[in-house]
Amino acid sequence: MNRVVLTIMPQGRALKAEPGTGLLENLRAILGEDFESPCGGAGLCGKCQVMIQCGEIWVSALACQTRVDRNMTVLLPDGSLGQEQILRQGAVSEKYALEPTIRKMLLDTVNRSKAGDGYRSQMDWLVDQVGKVGREKECDPGLARQLADLLQSGSAFITAVVYNDQIVSLEPGDTREILFGMAFDIGTTTLVGYLLNLNTGTRIATVSAMNPQRTYGADVISRVNHTNTLPDGLEQLTKAIRGGVERLIDQAAEMAGLRRTDIYELVFVGNTCMNHLFLGIHPAGLGQAPYKPVLRAPVCCLASSLGLTINSAGFVYWLPNVSGFIGSDTIGALLSNPVDQDETARLVVDIGTNGEMAIGVGGQIWACSTSAGPAFEGACIKNGMRAMPGAIDAVQVVGEDINYHIIGSYEPKGLCGSGLVDAVAGFLKTGVIDITGRFQSDNLTSWPETLKERVVPWQGSHAFILALQEGKGEPIMITQKDIRQVQLAKGAIAAGIEIIVKEAGLRLEEIGELYVAGAFGNYLDKHNMCAIGLLPLALENAIIPVGNAAGEGAVLALLSASARHEAFNIAGRVRYIELAGRSDFQDIFVEAMTFPASMSFDLL
C-alpha cells in the first residue's frame, strides 16, 4: 500500500507515513519526546491535542486517538496560538462531578431468574436492575420488544442505556465503553461542537463551521423576516442549521474514529431564535413587540425526531431560554461562569453577532442582549475571517511600523475580530481615524510616511492597507465601512452594558469581575477593548477572558445532570431587560458609537 503524506504546520515539514499508523507515533518520530502525552496515549489527558485540516476547516483531535489513513495536514499547538482559537477548560468544572444524564449498566441475563419470583415479568427484572421499586405504571412496548429479542438470542450480557433513570434502550453484550456525547453552541454566525467521552469526561474533538443559515441573512432579525416572507422560509432555515450540525457530527466522529451511533446525546445552547429555527418552531413572535418566544422550557426529545442520525436511542437536549432575546447561550455562559453566588457583582459579556450581557450579585441576575452584528466574528468585514489559520489576530502600531501576528501560518489570509479591534485601537492612537470613526485623510501632515502610504481611496471613501497577500492582486485592508461596522457593534455592546449596570442599581466601580466571552475573547487585548470603548475603561483591570462560555456551559450540561439542573434554576433567576422597549436605548447607543477621546495620543 502506498504511503501517505503527513504535513506538519506551522513548521511546514512533510513526511511519509504508513497508512493506518498512529498520528502520535509519527509526530514523536519527528519531534521526539517533546511532544507530550502524559497519559501514555490513553486519550485521557488531552495534552496531545492538534488541529487537522478537513477540507476548508480545521478540527481539533487527540494525536493519540487518530490514525494517519490518508494525506493529512496537522497543525501543532503553538502556545496560545497553535489551534483554532476556541478555548477549552477542564472537562468538568470544580463545581460539578462527572454524572452524565445518559449512562450505561451491564446486566447479567444468565442469573436473572430467581426462585419465588413467579409474579415477575422479564421487564420487572429489567426495571429492578436500575434500582426502581414497585410496579411500572406504564411501559413502552419498544423496550419489551428489545428485551425479548435479546433474551431470545441468548445474549449472556445486555447493556442497558439509562437516561434520567429510565431505561431507554438495550444493547447486546458489554458496550459500556461506548458512550459519547456532543455539546453545541449554535451561534448566529458560528457553530461550535465538542465531542466528549461521557465515561471519562475527556474532550476528544472540537469542530466548528459557519452557520449555513448565513445565506438567508446575517442577523437574527433578517432570518425571522425570511421565515415571514417565504412560505418555506422556516423549513429552509431549519434544514440548513440541522444540516450544519449533521456535518459537524460527521467530522467529529470521523476524527475520533467513532461511528455516529456511538453518540448518545447532543446538548445545545444558542440564542432563542436559533433554538426556534433549529427545532422548526416558527419565530415570528421574535420579530415584533412584545418579542414573545414560543418556547422557554428546556427541550428534551429523541434526536431521531429531529432527523439527527446519532444512536437511535439518542437524545437532544436544549438548555432553557429566558425571553425572546435571552437564550440558552446566555444560560450556558452563566452556568460556566456563575455571577450571583455572593456579594461581589460580576458582569459577563458574550460578544457574538448578538451581544449578550448579564450581571449578577447576591442571588440576583439581570440580562439583556443587543444586536452587535457579526463584525467581531469576521463577517460583513471586507477581509474578515474567523480566528483560524491564516487570520491576523493581533495588530500593533508601533511608531511608523505595523506589526501583526498570523494564526498558525506565514501568509495572511484575512483579519479576525481580535485583529480588527487592535487595528482600530491603533488607528485611534495614531490619528488615522478620529473619534467619529472617519479616516483623517485630509490631515495627514503629522503622520509617519509609512502610514500615509497605507491610506488609499476606496469606493468613494478610504481604506487602510494592513498587509499584502502574496500572489493576489488585492491587499488585506480595513475600509471606512469596516470601521462603521465596528462602531455599530461596539456601540451596541457598550450601550447594553451601561443600561444593565444601571438596571441592577450598581455603579461600574462596584463590579468586581468582568468575564469576556466569545470565540475570540481570550485573544483580545484588554487595553485595546477599552481604548475603542467596547468595554468600559473603568473595568479594564477586572476583565477576565473566559473563551466560549456558552459552549462551555453546554459541555457542563452534557457531563453533569446537576449542572443541567442548575441551568434550569439559573433561567428562573434571570430578569431580562428588554432594550427594544426602552426609550433611552437609542440615545445611549448613538452616543456609544463614538470612540473615546481621552487616550488618543497618550499612548502613541
Site residues (vs its own copies, CB under 8 A): 113, 118-124, 135-142, 144-145, 147-149, 151-152, 276, 279-285, 290, 292-301, 305-306, 321-323, 568, 572, 576, 578
Are 450 and 400 spatial neighbours (Cβ–Cβ below 8 Å)? yes
Q: How far is the CB of 604 from its own copies (least distance, A)?
A: 48
Closer to its own copies at the Cβ: 259 or 292? 292
184: number of Cβ within 10 Å: 27
Are 294 and 318 spatial neighbours (Cβ–Cβ below 8 Å)? no
Q: How far is the CB of 181 from its own copies (least distance, A)?
A: 17
Closer to its own copies at the Cβ: 90 or 290? 290
Q: How far is the CB of 248 from its own copies (least distance, A)?
A: 20
C-alpha grid cell, residue 602: 497618550
Distances (CA, A) of 338 to 201, 475, 514, 549, 563: 21, 43, 12, 11, 11
Are 522 and 87 spatial neighbours (Cβ–Cβ below 8 Å)? yes
Closer to its own copies at the Cβ: 335 or 493? 335
User: Checking DSSP bridges between strand 354-361 and strand 345-351, what pairing results, if any?
Assistant: antiparallel
Q: How far is the CB of 116 from its own copies (least distance, A)?
A: 11
Q: How far is the CB of 164 from its own copies (least distance, A)?
A: 9
Say which residues have a Cβ less than 8 Å from residue 18's Cβ, sequence separation at least 6. 1, 3, 68
CA 61 – CA 75 distance, rounded (Å): 10
Closer to its own copies at the Cβ: 59 or 147? 147
CA 581 – CA 83 distance, rounded (Å): 41
**Taking the CA of residue 494 as centre, how many other CA atoms within 13 Å lie in the half-sphere pointing to its CB?**
27
Say which residues have a Cβ less than 8 Å from residue 285's Cβ, sequence separation at least 6. 291, 292, 293, 294, 324
C-alpha grid cell, residue 37: 502525552
Q: How far is the CB of 280 from its own copies (least distance, A)?
A: 5
Q: How far is the CB of 230 from its own copies (least distance, A)?
A: 13
Tell me the Ramachandran region of residue 385: left when phi exceeds 0, alpha when psi lies from -120 to 50, beta otherwise: beta
Say which residues have a Cβ less than 8 Å from residue 216's Cβ, sequence separation at least 6. 222, 223, 226, 233, 236, 237, 240
Closer to its own copies at the Cβ: 256 or 313? 313
Closer to its own copies at the Cβ: 239 or 282? 282
Say which residues have a Cβ less than 8 Å from residue 109's Cβ, sequence separation at least 6. 150, 151, 155, 156, 157, 158
Please report how the helices 417-430 and 480-503 are oriented relative to each other, as an axis angle in degrees rounded to 10. 100
Closer to its own copies at the Cβ: 497 or 574? 574
Helix (H) or strand (E) holding 367: strand 364-371
292: amino acid identity, one letter: K
Q: How far is the CB of 291 from its own copies (least distance, A)?
A: 9
Closer to its own copies at the Cβ: 9 or 160? 160
Burial of residue 409 (CB within 10 Å: 0-12, 13-18, 19+) is middle
Closer to its own copies at the Cβ: 147 or 381? 147
Ordered alpha helix ranges (H), 404-517: 417-430, 449-454, 480-503
Are 323 and 272 spatial neighbours (Cβ–Cβ below 8 Å)? yes
Q: How far is the CB of 348 from its own copies (least distance, A)?
A: 21
DSSP 12-72: TEEEEE-TTEEHHHHHHHHHGGGS--TT-SSS-S-TTEEEEEETTEEEEEEGGG-EE-S-E
Q: How far is the CB of 277 from its own copies (least distance, A)?
A: 11
Q: How far is the CB of 286 from its own copies (least distance, A)?
A: 10
Q: How far is the CB of 345 from its own copies (least distance, A)?
A: 23
Closer to its own copies at the Cβ: 4 or 294? 294
**Per-residue burial over 140-154, b = 16 or more CB atoms within 10 Å of its CB, e = otherwise:** eeebeebbeebbeee
Q: How far is the CB of 295 from its own copies (least distance, A)?
A: 4
Closer to its own copies at the Cβ: 302 or 508? 302
Closer to its own copies at the Cβ: 224 or 252? 224
CA 602 – CA 604 distance, rounded (Å): 6
Closer to its own copies at the Cβ: 55 or 119? 119
What is the Rg, in whole angstroms, of the alpha carbon atoms belonging to the chain?
26
